[in-house]
Amino acid sequence: RAAARARAETALAEVKADPSRLAALAGAISDCPSREQGGDLGLVTSGSTVPEFEAALRATAAGAVHDAVVESRYGFHVVRVLERAEGRDLPFDAVQDRIAGWLRESAWRRAAHQFMALLASRAQVEGIVLSAGADGPLVQ
């Protein structure tokens, strides 16, 4: 963990000196799948990443590099905001199918999580406590 932080701190110093270096550095040292795109995450929407990463995005002006390495449960991140796109409200008809798909996926994930928790609760495991969750409304 200390080595990963040190690599991120070194990368941040390089990117602050020359922001165009971010893509090459991400491709060379990042463990994130975005390394294949030079660290470019594309358009990041609210709620699509972890809170600490989104806080860094909000605190960084378009075209700027965040002033510190961002730590999240996934590791250490160097953040550069290329541009911002303002959101806009869309009519329900335009988003109805996307909302329905999101709700289906959400219900499936919840059911799968509860099913796995149910299986884990039936397993004979010693030495650790497995998380609860097999008692939700989807488990019959």
Count: domains in the chain: 2
Contact between 14 and 21 under an 8 Å Cβ cutoff? The reply is yes
Is 139 or 64 the better-scoring residue by pLDDT? Answer: 64
Contact between 15 and 21 under an 8 Å Cβ cutoff? The reply is yes
Query: Are 73 and 96 within one domain?
Result: no
Ranges 1-5, 27-31, 86-90, 126-130: which has the least confidence: 126-130
Tokens, residue 32:
């994130």
Q: Residue 99's pLDDT is what? A: 95
CA 41 to chain centre: 10
For 14-19, the CB contacts below 8 A with 24+ separation are 15/65, 15/78, 15/80, 16/65, 19/65, 19/80
CATH of the domain at 48: 3.10.50.40
pTM of the entire structure?
A: 0.63
CA 136 to chain centre: 26
SS3 88: coil
Q: Tell me which of 42, 57, 77 is where a domain ends.
A: 77
